[in-house]
Amino acid sequence: MRVQLARRLLDRQIVDVDGLLVGRVDDIAFAVDDEGFPYVDCLLTGQGALGARIGGRTGRLLVAVADRFTDDPPMPPLRVPLSQVARVDSAVRLRCRAADLPPSPVEAWLRRHLIERIPGSGRASG
């Protein structure tokens, strides 16, 4: 059953209710209920979670690059509660908007320090 879960969820694209891309399922967090049964609690997304999953030198490099572009490292992964997942097809589709989730620290850092300083960053070119 666990293998099935990994195949269905891991590495899938997470898409919000408007079709905006939130991230990928980089890892899965489990929790244990009162009776001692483990269950899937959250989907984790973010370079930190991906780096930890890949492991080794490559994984550490991914984490280090992400932390460099964050205001207060280490950067925690974005946790998406399973209750926010509407359905899973070729992507994991959420019932909430990306704006309702905490923003990705790297995205926010790059937006503030680089992209937003360029004129026209608020207008899509289509």
Beta bridge partners of 73: none
* Binding residue (CB under 8 A) for other proteins from 3, 35, 57, 118: 118
Copy the structure tokens of residue 75: 């950067």
Distance CA 98, CA 55 (A): 28
Residues 43-102 binding other proteins (CB under 8 A) are: 45, 47, 50, 53-54, 58, 90-91
Nearest approach, Cβ of residue 1 and other proteins (Å):
19
**Residue 3 interacts with other proteins (CB under 8 A)?**
no
H/E run at residue 28: strand 27-32
Say how many residues touch other proteins, by CB under 8 A. Answer: 35
Sheet with 27-32: strands ordered across: 27-32, 38-45, 78-81
Interface contacts to other proteins, rule CB under 8 A: 11-14, 20-24, 26, 45, 47, 50, 53-54, 58, 90-91, 104, 106-108, 110-111, 114-116, 118, 120-126
